[in-house]
Amino acid sequence: MKMTETKTETEKVLLLSVDTNEYDNEMSVQELKELVRTAGGDTQGVIIQKLQKINPVSFIGSGKLAEAELFCHNQEIDLVVCDGTLTTTQQRVLTKALKTRVIDRTVLILDIFASGAKTAEGKLQVELAQLNYALANLAGRGEEFSRLGGGIGTRGPGETKLETDRRHIRRRKNALEEQLKSLQKRRENMRERRKKDSVVTCAIVGYTNAGKSTLLNTLTNSGVLAEDKLFATLDPTSRALKLPDGRDIMLIDTVGFISRLPHLLVEAFKSTLEEAVCADILLLLADASDNEVEEKKQTSLDLLRELGAENKPIITVYNKCDIAENSYLMPASKNSVKISAVTGVGLDALLNLIAENYPEQTVEITAVLPYKESSLLSWLHSSALVLDEKYTEKGVYVKAKVGRGSVYKFLPYISAPSE
C-alpha cells in the first residue's frame, strides 16, 4: 500500500476532551499531550467540557464547538485531536465546523505506531490495526480521507485514500493475517526452544516511557534505542543477563502500555505482548517521578490481567528515583525496589530480587504412565514441558522436564531421571 508523504514542520494542535467522570480526565489529557509531542506536534491549547455523556453528533456541545472554531481560526491550527474515539458523524461535523483536519486518540496512537515499527511483524501489526479501524469507520469517510495531505494521523502503510472499498480492505486484511500467523508461529517456536533449552526469561513491562529500554541497556550493556517519547519500543528485544549468583536469564523489552489503549491495538499487538505472558518473571516498571505513578502502575496491572499474565511473579520496579521528589511516599513491599536505570542506584537490589524469583529448576524425566493415570499426563501437558510422548501396551511413555518439587508425583513410574 502506498504511504502518504508526511510534513516536516511541527504541526499546531488543539486538543478536545469531554470529562464524563468515567476516568481520570486530567491524566488522560496530559497523556494525549505526550502522544502529540511524540507524533511531532505542538499542543497550542486544550478545550475540556464536563458532560454526562459525549455529544453523539459533534463530540462537544455547541458552545465549546464555537470556542474551538474561533481558536482554530486565530491560532491557525493544523490539526484537532479528540480524546476519545470519533464516529463517522462526529468527525464529519467537527471537520466542517473547524475547517481543519480532525483525528481521534486511536488514529494518533496508530500514527505513532506506524512511524515506530521497525520489524516486518511490527509493520504488519500496525497496518492490520489501521485497516481494522478503517473498516469500522469506512461509511461516509471517503470524502474526508481523500482530502488528507501529509501530517500527524496520515502515516503508515494502512493509511490509504479511502476510495478503497470494503472488499479490498478485507482482502488485504486476510493477507496480513496469514503473514502474521507465520511470524507468530516463528515466535512460538523460539519460545519453545527457550523452554527446551531451559532458558529462563524475564520480561520488562510497564507504562510507555517508564524507562524499560534504558534499564535493558544498563543491565546488559546493549544499544537498544531509548528515547524520551511514548512507544519508542514496539518490537520486543531480547538480551542475555548473568545474575550475581551465576545463573543466566534472558531479559525481554516489550511494547509500553497506556491507559485506554484501544482494543484493536491490544488485538493487533497480542503476539508481541505474549512475550510478557510467556515470561517466567515480570519486571513491572513504573516512573517514580510521575505524579500518577500508582494510577499508571494499576493500568499496567489491568492490562496484564487482560492478557492472562497476572499470576506470574511480578517485581515492581520504581524507576527514575534519582529525579523523583515523591519517592518517599512509595509503598514498600517484599517484591518492589527503587532504582535509577541511569545512575545505577538500586540495581544490585533489583538483581537480587530477580534471583529470589528465579523459577524452580527443572529435571528431565522419562516415565511410563499407566492409562489409568490420565490426570498425571494432563498435569504434564499443562504444567511441564513434554519433550516426547508415545502410546505403548504398558501405558504412555513420556519424556518431560518438570520442576524438582514435582518429581515425586512420578516416582513410581520413572525409569531414568537425569539433570
> For the residues of 31-100, what is the DSSP string, one character each?
HHHHHHHHHTEEEEEEEEEE-SS-BTTTBS-HHHHHHHHHHHHHHT-SEEEESS---HHHHHHHHHHHTS
- What pLDDT is stored for residue 155 in this prediction? 62
Instruction: Examine the pLDDT at 418 and tell me if it is beyond 60.
Output: no
Tens of pLDDT, residues 15-43: 999 999 988 889 889 989 989 998 889 99
Q: How far apart are CA 89 and CA 141, in angstroms?
A: 9
pLDDT at 416 over 80: no
pTM, to two decimals: 0.67
What are the backbone angles phi and psi of residue 160, rounded to the nearest 5°?
-105, 170
Contact 160, 188 (CB under 8 A): no
User: pLDDT band at 295, cuts 50/70/90?
Assistant: confident
Compute the Cα dihedral for 86, 235, 344, 335 and give only its sign.
positive
The confidence band for 117, taking pLDDT boundaries of 50, 70 and 90, is confident
Grid coordinates belonging to 316: 515492581
**Which of 180-189, 281-290, 410-419 shows the lowest mean pLDDT across its residues?**
410-419
Nearest to 285, CA basis, from 184, 211, 179:
211
pLDDT tens digits along 233-283: 555 677 888 888 888 898 888 777 777 777 777 766 666 677 777 888 999
312 pLDDT above the threshold of 70: yes
* pLDDT over 80 at 67, yes or no: yes
The string of pLDDT tens digits covering residues 327-342 is 545 655 778 999 999 9
Whether residue 231 has pLDDT greater than 60: no
Taking all residues of the chain, what is their mean pLDDT, rounded to a whole number? 81
pLDDT at residue 367 tops 90: yes
Share of the chain above pLDDT 90, in %: 31
Percent of the chain's residues with pLDDT above 70? 82
Query: Looking at the predicted structure, is the pLDDT value of residue 6 above 60?
Result: no
How confident is the model over 190-204, as a mean pLDDT? 78
Count H helices and E strands in the chain, helices first: 13, 13
Q: Say what the pLDDT of residue 327 is.
A: 55
1 pLDDT band, cuts 50/70/90, is very low
The three three-digit cell numbers of residue 140, written as one number:
461516509
- Rounded to an integer, the average pLDDT of 176-192 is 80
Closest CA to 13 of 106, 152, 156: 152
The pLDDT score that the predictor gives to residue 190 is 75
Q: Helix (H, G, I), strand (E, B), or coil: what is residue 220?
A: helix
Query: What pLDDT was estimated at residue 16?
Result: 96
Q: What are phi and psi of 363, to 5 degrees?
A: -125, 135
Give pLDDT, residue 296. 85
Higher pLDDT, residue 380 or 404? 380
Note the pLDDT of residue 165: 66
pLDDT digits (tens, 9 = 90+) for 43-55: 999 999 999 999 9
